[in-house]
Amino acid sequence: MNNVMDVTEDFGTLYHPKSALVFYESKGLDKEVYVEHFDMDKNGTPINAHPLTEREAGALAKALTTDKQKQTAFLNSCGILPTTILHINPSRDKGAVIWYTKSQKRPLYFIEGLGIPCGHGYVPPMVWQATKNSLRVFALLSNSRPTEKTSLYYAPFFNIYEDGRVCMGSVSIDIKNSASMEQFTRAWEDYFFNSYFSHLIGENSPVKGNCVSLWKDLTATGRAFPTTVLKKNNKTLNNLLS
């Protein structure tokens, strides 16, 4: 898939040196510590040396606390846990979320070679499973909140492997360690739907019938997604939890 999102705001923040601290320690058994604060000029040269003030110490403590909070914020909820969330592993290294979305109208982008005009169309109810670096998607028959025994269906899109993994192609994935659970799920949905669908993976169609014809019709008519075209993949939600 090719990303069509405007990423100019995500190039990162440029930091400039503003101040420096030097810690001095006395010799002997009763060691005393003295901290000296330096300002920086426009060339990054230390100037204006003076003892660290209470105000400056408070600012430093606040910065360190904020950084620590960011390190532990990954996949924490901003409030009451949404009912769409099905499972969370909040580990910073192996963090993952499973959630579902109801049928909805989304912007859809297709490469010119598919012959499908870009536009808006209804997509089926979906189950999403994502880590910081990968995404799997599946379809559901109804908008009801799935249970462990709910059957999953192949997601009726392009660029998806048979096991549900999404081939993101040249899309640059950037999930922050400080991302809340809401930011995490919203980012993955945006990555998926704001990218160009380009090709089918494998020899079998993910739907009953022709996938290209299906999306030509849906983007042209705006009608509800016909769940009768979905193909069962012999998995249940419980298979994603193991």
- Indicate the residue type of 46: P
- The answer on 237 and 219 residing in a single domain is yes
The answer to whether residues 223 and 200 belong to one domain is yes
Distances (CA, A) of 219 to 20, 55, 179: 58, 59, 33
In a domain, 7, yes or no: no
The answer to whether the predicted template modeling score (pTM) of the entire model surpasses 0.85 is no
For residue 188, pLDDT beyond 50: yes
Q: Tell whether 203 and 159 lie within a shared domain.
A: yes
Same-domain pairing of 62 and 140: no
Range of the domain at 45: 17-71
Q: Is 125 contained in some domain?
A: yes
Of 46, 71, 96, which marks where a domain is finished?
A: 71
Identify the pLDDT of residue 63.
60
In a domain, 3, yes or no: no
Residues 110 and 208 in one domain: yes
Same domain, 64 and 122: no
6 within domain boundaries: no
3-state secondary structure 116-142: CCCEEEEECCEEEEECCCCEEEEECCC
Considering only residues 60 and 179, tell me which one the structure prediction assigns the higher pLDDT: 179
Of the residues 44, 71, 98, the one at which a domain ends: 71
Whether 53 is covered by a domain: the verdict is: yes
How many domains does one find in the chain? 2
Residue 11 domain flag: no
125-150 pLDDT, tens per residue? 999 999 988 999 999 999 999 999 99
Same domain, 150 and 209: yes
Structure tokens at 173: 């994935």
Q: Are residue 26 and residue 100 in the same domain, yes or no?
A: no
C-alpha distances out from residue 172 to 1, 59, 159, 237, Å:
10, 34, 16, 28
Look at residue 36 and tell me if it is in a domain: yes
Please check whether residues 139 and 209 belong to one and the same domain: yes
Q: Residues 46, 82: one domain? A: no
Q: What is the mean pLDDT of the chain?
A: 84
Residue 222 included in any domain: yes
pLDDT, tens digit, for every residue of 18-65?
A: 778 887 777 776 777 777 887 888 777 888 888 878 777 776 666 655
Task: Kindly state whether residues 26 and 104 are assigned to the same domain.
Answer: no
pLDDT of residue 78: 61
Please say if the pLDDT value at position 12 is more than 50.
no
CB 119 within 8 A of CB 105: no
Query: Domain end: 30, 49, 71, which one?
Result: 71
CB of 160 closer than 8 Å to CB of 166: yes
29 and 110 assigned to the same domain: no
